[in-house]
Structure 1
Amino acid sequence: MSAAFTKVSDWGSGFEGKVTVTNGTTASISTWSVALDFPSGYTISSSWDATRVSSGQTHTFTPPSWAGPLAPGASVTFGFNGSPGNFPGISACRLNGGSCAGGGGGTVPGAPSGLAGTSTANSVSLTWSAASGATSYNVYRNGTKVGTPSGTSYTDSGLNASTAYSYQVSGSNSAGEGPKTGSVSVTTKPGGTDPAPGRTAAPYLWLGWGDPPSPTTVMNATGIKWFTMAFILSSGGCNAAWDGNRPLQGGVDATAISQIRAAGGDIVPSIGGWQGNKLGPNCSTPEALAGAYQQVISAYNLKAIDIDIENTDEFENEAVQDRILNALKIVKQNNPGIKTILTFGTSTTGPNYYGNRLIERSQALGANIDIFTLMPFDFGSSNIYNDTVGASTGLNNKLKSVFGWTTAQAYAHQGISGMNGLSDQQEMTTTATWQNITTWAKNNGLARLAFWGVNRDRGCAGGGVVSNCSGIAQGDWDFTRITAGF
């Protein structure tokens, strides 16, 4: 088999490309996989006549669901549009894991062995032993192909609770698809029985703003282990960068992450926020957006990502909401064990229309979100503790209604992200109030506690909302020290 790339046209701001896959063997080929590596800065905005999965600068194409076997001597083409223009050509091309130049038929792999699965209420995680000669695998649920992973594991999400599913796996290489394993039946758990995602105290740290402190200084002074690091934005198109202009590697953020990990801690990046150019509207498909998220995950080998979906371009845009949820579903499938967090605004009684929609669509799309985090501030409130509890109770009721969880199970999928000191609406959260909120969150088994932010966790009594202090009288890192107790 062989695959050949052609640039069809280029109009300065974008380009069209196509790939021709030819079966040069004497047997029909039931599947194939073409992986294209793009130069840095170039992305795909749309594609046709193939199924595409993008991860960073690598775009992998497989036959569409409606395609039949590729006959001996036959060819198929697929195409895509990308940006920006003046595309210099692909950096590398791999057909079924080997050279796109091809060179013979070969032997299809044997059947994988040891297929086994475990389940939650809405997902099944499969593992198997490698098949000799396989360069990729095909996962079938109830006879229908649902995934084409390159490794020997796969998570099938968006399933119904208390339901039995039948799975088979086959291996593929340049010669075609090998035989399937025997069927393995896995039954999902009853609704609401997902394990708690775990508890994380992770206040925000922003290295592009507010006289950022040394993270290890704060860790040594307070006992905090995790930070939520702000903000991952679009650097132009569907490419991720810190604040949209600092590189993922080689900059102050990567250095800080290394220091935090060397001190025994870790980070979760905040992707989004209120200001700046967001990835959600700039990435045109869920696959492209998942690829941008993957850039960040792969750069730091992350255990979790947080999507701060407060900006109206994302939060109040239903198409972008769905794009984010579908992208996170892809992220979960491609990164087994990673935790996904959604952070968004709220009313004093729980999520508003867009928050409720976000939760409902996460269930309907099978996004398998681990933690829903509210930002309970900027109400103009005189009692931020009562309003934080009221908002969290409202979220708890919504999660129970949508997912069928118990009260405790819903709280295990919730988080609070507060604002220390004075908020934008001049609400005051004192250290005593934050201690009460922390105690309430801990006693109710919430999964995550954060605040905005460590940069502001220094005293400046009588001040307004500024970048490097809280606007109230306090000691350095008091809020961080309380949060560490969570």
Structure 2
Amino acid sequence: MTKFSMHFSAATVALAMMAAGCATNATEDSTNAEDNVASTSDSLLAVRAGAPYLYMGWGNPPSPQTVMNATGVKWFTMAFILSSGGCNPAWDGSRPLSGSADANAISQIRSAGGDIVPSFGGWSGNKLGPNCSSASALAGAYQKVINAYGLKAIDIDIENTDEFENNTVQDRILGALKIVKQNNAGITTIVTFGTSKTGPTAPGNRLIERSKALGANIDIFTIMPFDFGSGNIYNDTVAASEGLKNKLKSTFGWSDATAYSHMGISGMNGLSDQQEMTTVDTWTRIRDWSKGKGLARLAFWAVNRDRGCAGGGVVSNCSGIAQSNWAFSKVTAGF
């Protein structure tokens, strides 16, 4: 997965689902799924929300209020919560939960009527999953962040090989998320992971299967369809998403509509690390497809890069293509 994206590799955004959405079973049809959506409590996240990634530790981070005012986007996925040593969470493993640039950005977002979902993990850095000794300890680390910000959702970006391809750590993460669901009524749990062009890879398939076996009750499974050898981002994103849908159906016994309602897409705007191209028009088509299918989450990496720089290559503070500032955020706000 992506190295340029630092912690994020194919990352999200994000979100949501009611507790009832997770309890669906094989007999539920699309009408029931729609009824579940309609009954969502106001205390939970919106059924659909676009939440692009914002990273305060890299890429000349913009003022979130500037982006909100220009685009109408309300939610951001904040990256990344890592280990600051052992099982202790911190932004980038170094910035504290209170008094940091991240905490200040969250205050700005909320004062402007928005909200955030923090992302734990990503590609690089010291992860909590391998450092926490048990599922309960890891759940405690997640809980510190939930308590610090009064969160409605958390995203676990599980892509580093120490987490994604380590069966013990995969199970620890899923066990921790099960505990989080039990201890925080109404919280939305999201897992974000890489994909092939036809759907989840072997570790992704295992993650889905084990989430059922362990009763983790994950709300949203989000794939990162980039840096995966794409020659056509739109077609390959749709194909990968359909592969995810089919895996969720076969694992959980869900209908198409229910499977879609537990899915998300997290792309990479402009040029990816592999020079794959996602234009504003392509992202608009992906948004429209996602919205039409009833997906729960749409994100991209990252707001920091949502500025034009045609010919600039793959860099941290612009997309590498010609675009107006915040164009991808504006499209995502329409999700």
TM-score, normalised with respect to structure 2: 0.88
Q: 1:383 matched to which residue of 2? A: 232
Query: 2:81 corresponds to which letter in structure 1?
Result: I
What are the superposed Cα offsets for residues 271-316 of structure 1, whole Å, 9 maximum, x if unpaired? 0000100000000100000000001000000000000001110000
Query: 2:284 corresponds to which letter in structure 1?
Result: Q
Deviation at 1:380, TM superposition (A): 2.6
The within-5 A match list for 1:35-50 is: none
What are the superposed Cα offsets for residues 255-278 of structure 1, whole Å, 9 maximum, x if unpaired? 110110000000000100001000
Deviation at 1:161, TM superposition (A): 5.5
Name structure 1 gaps, 5 residues minimum: 1-118, 124-159, 163-188
Cα distance in 2 for partners of 1:421, 1:256 equals 24
The within-5 A match list for 1:150-299 is: 195-196=36-37, 198-299=47-148
Q: Is the 8 A contact 1:205 1:212 kept in 2?
A: yes
Q: 1:426 matched to which residue of 2? A: 275
Q: 1:328 matched to which residue of 2? A: 177
Query: 1:232 corresponds to which letter in structure 2?
Result: I
Query: 1:263 corresponds to which letter in structure 2?
Result: A
Deviation at 1:250, TM superposition (A): 1.1
What are the superposed Cα offsets for residues 433-481 of structure 1, whole Å, 9 maximum, x if unpaired? 1111011001111000000000000000012110000000000000000
What are the superposed Cα offsets for residues 32-73 of structure 1, whole Å, 9 maximum, x if unpaired? xxxxxxxxxxxxxxxxxxxxxxxxxxxxxxxxxxxxxxxxxx
Is residue 371 from structure 1 mapped to residue 220 from structure 2 by the alignment? yes
Moved more, 290-299 or 250-259: 250-259
Cα distance in 1 for partners of 2:274, 2:20 equals 41
- Aligned counterpart in structure 2 of residue 338 of structure 1, from 180, 183, 187: 187
Based on CA coordinates, which of the two structures has the bigger radius of gyration?
A: 1
What are the superposed Cα offsets for residues 67-100 of structure 1, whole Å, 9 maximum, x if unpaired? xxxxxxxxxxxxxxxxxxxxxxxxxxxxxxxxxx
How much is the aligned-residue C-alpha RMSD, in angstroms?
1.7
Q: Is the 8 A contact 1:191 1:403 kept in 2?
A: no
The within-5 A match list for 1:334-483 is: 334-483=183-332
- Residue aligned with 1:268, SS: strand
- Aligned counterpart in structure 2 of residue 316 of structure 1, from 140, 165, 172: 165
What are the superposed Cα offsets for residues 183-211 of structure 1, whole Å, 9 maximum, x if unpaired? xxxxxx86996635811100000000000
- Relative to 1, partners in 2 of residues 1:388 and 1:122: Cα closer, same or farther, differing over 3 Å? closer
What are the superposed Cα offsets for residues 121-157 of structure 1, whole Å, 9 maximum, x if unpaired? 876xxxxxxxxxxxxxxxxxxxxxxxxxxxxxxxxxx
Q: Is the 8 A contact 2:196 2:240 kept in 1?
A: yes
Query: 2:116 corresponds to which letter in structure 1?
Result: I
- Residue aligned with 1:378, SS: coil
- Residue aligned with 2:180, SS: helix
- Residue aligned with 2:116, SS: strand
What percent of counterpart residues are identical? 75
- Residue aligned with 1:415, SS: strand
Query: 1:297 corresponds to which letter in structure 2?
Result: I
Q: How many residues matched?
A: 306
Q: Is the 8 A contact 2:29 2:255 kept in 1?
A: no
- Relative to 1, partners in 2 of residues 1:328 and 1:259: Cα closer, same or farther, differing over 3 Å? same
Q: Is the 8 A contact 1:121 1:190 kept in 2?
A: no
- Relative to 1, partners in 2 of residues 1:214 and 1:353: Cα closer, same or farther, differing over 3 Å? same
TM-score, normalised with respect to structure 1: 0.61
- Relative to 1, partners in 2 of residues 1:161 and 1:469: Cα closer, same or farther, differing over 3 Å? closer
- Relative to 1, partners in 2 of residues 1:294 and 1:465: Cα closer, same or farther, differing over 3 Å? same
Q: 2:9 matched to which residue of 1? A: none
Q: Is the 8 A contact 1:420 1:456 kept in 2?
A: yes
- Relative to 1, partners in 2 of residues 1:364 and 1:191: Cα closer, same or farther, differing over 3 Å? farther
Deviation at 1:120, TM superposition (A): 4.5
Deviation at 1:317, TM superposition (A): 0.2
Cα distance in 2 for partners of 1:161, 1:441 equals 22
What are the superposed Cα offsets for residues 411-448 of structure 1, whole Å, 9 maximum, x if unpaired? 00000000000000000101111111011001111000
Higher relative contact order (CA 8 A, sep 6+): 2
- Relative to 1, partners in 2 of residues 1:264 and 1:381: Cα closer, same or farther, differing over 3 Å? same
